[in-house]
Copies of this chain bind each other. A is one copy, B any other.
Amino acid sequence: MTPHIRIQNEDFDVNDELEALASAQIDVGAVASFVGLVRGDGGLTSLTLEHYPGMTEREIENHVEEANRRWPLLGATVIHRVGTLKPGDRIVLVAVASAHRSAAFEACEFLMDYLKTRAPFWKREDRGGESAWVEARASDEEAAGRWK
């Protein structure tokens, strides 16, 4: 299984990505996916994402490999956007293909939990003129901890 991992400024089309994932092998019966979006609550005007090029890709690759050891995966796609995004914009796609649904769901959640707590991305929120870095959430650490 060769995962598709992309860090990009551009948006993505979920249908295209899932089709590429599912069409790779005829025994794909289940594709679980997650799309994260910019929430517009609290007067947010934009969200800016920066990352650590090189380390980001390496971390994601490592976690996809780990997922592949834990579940019988037939494909995985991780796309994470960087740059400045608006409320409602897609931020991230994680999609996992397997023969059956439980493996696909579990691996997808596993990858999202690790993206949240290990992949070197940082979010800055802009509200009108005010700008603030997003603080990490303890609940994300707990979510990642359950896979240990």
Chain A contacts to B: CB under 8 angstroms: 13-16, 18, 22-23, 26-41, 87-88, 99, 101-102, 104-105, 108-109, 112, 143
* CA gap between A35 and B35 in the complex, in Å: 14
Taking a contact as CB atoms closer than 8 A, the residue among B29, B37, B41, B109 that contacts A37 in the complex is B29
Chain A at the B interface: SS class: mixed
Complex interface: chain B residues within 8 A of A105 (CB) = 34, 105, 108-109, 112
How many copies the complex holds: the figure is 2
Complex interface: chain B residues within 8 A of A29 (CB) = 36-39
Complex interface: chain B residues within 8 A of A15 (CB) = 13-16
Taking a contact as CB atoms closer than 8 A, the residue among B13, B14, B99 that contacts A39 in the complex is B99
* CA gap between A41 and B41 in the complex, in Å: 46
* CA gap between A21 and B13 in the complex, in Å: 15
Complex interface: chain B residues within 8 A of A35 (CB) = 18, 22, 30-31, 33
Q: Cβ of B39 and Cβ of A26 under 8 Å apart?
A: yes
